[in-house]
Structures are given as C-alpha cells and as structure tokens.
Amino acid sequence: MKETLTNANFPQDAEGHVYHINVKRGQVANRILTVGDHHRARAIAKHLDQIDFERSSQRGFLTITGRYKGIPVSIMAIGMGNCMMDFFVRESRAVVDGDIAIIRFGSCGSLTARAPPGSVIVPKAGYCIRRNLDYFCDTPLNPALADTPYLISGTFPADAGITELLETTLKAALEGQQADVGPVITGGLNADGCSFYSAQGRQDPQFWDDNQDVIKTALATHPTTDALEMETSMLFHLAQCAKGTVRAAGCMQVFADRVNNGFIRPEIVKILEPLVGKAVLDALVLVDLEAMNEAGTVWEQ
C-alpha cells in the first residue's frame, strides 16, 4: 500500500481509489466481464476496439476498460473464490455511477453427463457449499449446528434477461464448431464450493475432510446442478443483495468432468476460450441498462 487511506469502514485513498482493486470513479464501466484468470482477461481484451485504462492491483486484481462495438466495457480478472468476488462486486459498485451489468466467464467442473469437457454451462441460478467449521471444532459453540460437515444453501437467481442474451450469443458462437467444442447447456444450477478441495468433494488423505458424500448430498438437495466452481453463485447472491443496482449472469467452460474424472485438452481450450469470450462481450453490449433501471429482469414463475 502506497497511499494514505481514510475510512476504515470502506477504505479509499484521497482520490477515491478503492483499497483492493485500486480503481476510482471513471475507471470501471457499467458493463463488466469478469474472469478468474489474468491471461484469460488479456486474451479477451484483444477483442476490444480500444483500451482506455488498464491497472493491476497489488492484491491480484486486473482491470482493463475500453470499448467493444463502441460501448464502454470493463474486463476484470479477480482471482479465485467467494472472497475475491466480494471484493470485486463491492468495490466496483462503489466506484461506478448507475446500474451495473456483470457477466462472469469462468471454468468449472461438471456434475452432469450432459456437459462433458468443452461444454459451456449457463446456469439459471446458483447456491453455495460451505465447509461447516463447527463440525471440525473441538468446542463448537452450538453443538446442534455441528453435526454436518458441509452446509448447502438455497439458490440465488441469475438475471433472466442477461442470461437469455448470453445463451443466444453463446449458441451462435459455438454452432457448427468441431466435436468437443460445446454444446451450450442451459437451465440448471451452479454450485460454488467455498474451497477447491474439500467443499468440492476432492479426496485428500493428508486432511480430515469427511467429504466423501458432499457431491451426492448437493445433487440430492439440488438435482439440477450442472456446474461446480467457486465464484458465480456468490456473484448472483451479491447481485441480489445490491438493492437492485447490480444484475448478473454467468457461464463456465467445463474443464473437469467430475462424473467420469476427465479433463479438457489444452487444444480445445485454445479454440473454446476466445469464442466464449467474444460471445460474452456480444451479450454484454446488448444489455439494456436503462430497462434494467425500470424493472430488472426476473425469471417467470
């Protein structure tokens, strides 16, 4: 940290830069494509007409702001996990005037045979799987809450309108591609694990995790779960808590097959990632921010 910060409640420097992303008003657009991986962000930024601003923060965030088809967009790499998603959504919200549309483009494990590696999943909603620390604690404060090793939340919806736009641009982008690139899988759920290992059911003999059944339990609780990763459900949750000013959707390329224990080949990622990145930008610039102001878009019951 170089600058003097004020306000311990929401730290910003004298120019208004937020603490972790290190951007200020005017440096982030109302339309944001977010990824985990910095290389993915830089590759997608090649599609922009122009880049007006770029910053890497010392806390691991990368912000690239420019124009796509003449419309201001930001591409932001945030690293991994719910915590980074929280920094990103709150600090971006703090420096952007007006409503914000966010689409996350990540990678995930698939929990369904209909989404093999190379597929792209567009979830309708998401939930979280959290390691229950009290289960592992010798002295849980409330033993009644300590009998289950992983806690599975209810669901948080993606924005219906942005999701629909995303499905359309992705299907158009992947249509006619070679086998192993696509299909686009829609209408199911994403699960965020609070970690890559224990909460996602990976077996690690070096640790006490009691996670042999976590995926089975998640699927029994939410049978339409397609994807397992670490950020998108948190994005949906935070959007829901942003008092109507943030709308979010997400898509993830399937890297890991958690049903049959397979992994995507690098040559497929090379073809898939740029196609999806461009399709996400295409969807983002179609979002009507004014209409969002008036009504927002929700799933029909």
> What phi and psi values does residue 288 have, to the nearest 5 degrees?
-90, 100
Check binding of 277 to ligand R1P (CB under 6 A).
Answer: no
CA angle 297, 68, 47 (to 5 degrees): 120
**Residue 192 Cβ vs ligand R1P, minimum distance, rounded to whole Å:** 8
Nearest to 37 by CA among 101, 105, 91, 100: 105
Q: Which residues have C-beta within 8 Å of that of residue 86, sequence separation ≥ 6? A: 234, 238
Q: How far is CA 29 from CA 65, 211, 296, in A?
A: 7, 41, 19
Q: With respect to ligand R1P, which residue has the nearer C-beta, 25 or 265? A: 265
Q: With respect to ligand R1P, which residue has the nearer C-beta, 152 or 230? A: 230
Among positions 107, 163, 190, 297, the unique one binding ligand R1P when judged by CB under 6 A:
107
How many residues make contact with ligand R1P (CB under 6 A)?
10
Residue with the CB atom nearest ligand R1P in the bound state: 36
Q: Which of residues 239-268 bind ligand R1P (CB under 6 A)?
A: none
Nearest to 111 by CA among 219, 197, 239: 219
Part in contact with ligand R1P (CB under 6 A); list of ranges 53-61, 158-166, 227-235, 273-281: 227-235
Check binding of 229 to ligand R1P (CB under 6 A).
Answer: yes
Q: With respect to ligand R1P, which residue has the nearer C-beta, 229 or 257? A: 229
Check binding of 80 to ligand R1P (CB under 6 A).
Answer: yes
Part in contact with ligand R1P (CB under 6 A); list of ranges 31-39, 205-213, 279-287, 293-301: 31-39
- Write down the H helix ranges in the chain: 38-45, 82-95, 133-136, 160-174, 214-221, 232-240, 266-286, 289-294
Check binding of 167 to ligand R1P (CB under 6 A).
Answer: no
Check binding of 197 to ligand R1P (CB under 6 A).
Answer: no
Residue 73 near residue 31 (C-beta atoms within 8 A): yes
Part in contact with ligand R1P (CB under 6 A); list of ranges 35-43, 65-73, 89-97, 131-139: 35-43
Cα(180)–Cα(164) distance, rounded to whole angstroms?
A: 23
Check binding of 89 to ligand R1P (CB under 6 A).
Answer: no
Among positions 86, 196, 242, 278, the unique one binding ligand R1P when judged by CB under 6 A:
196
DSSP state of 199: G
Q: Report the phi/psi class of residue 236: left, alpha or beta, with left for phi > 0 and alpha for psi in -120 to 50.
A: alpha
Q: With respect to ligand R1P, which residue has the nearer C-beta, 231 or 282? A: 231
Give the SS3 label for residue 124: coil
**Residue 123 Cβ vs ligand R1P, minimum distance, rounded to whole Å:** 12
Q: With respect to ligand R1P, which residue has the nearer C-beta, 10 or 263? A: 263
- Write down the H helix ranges in 21-120: 38-45, 82-95
Among positions 22, 36, 111, 184, the unique one binding ligand R1P when judged by CB under 6 A:
36
Residues contributing to the site for ligand R1P (CB under 6 A) = 35-37, 80, 106-107, 196, 229-231
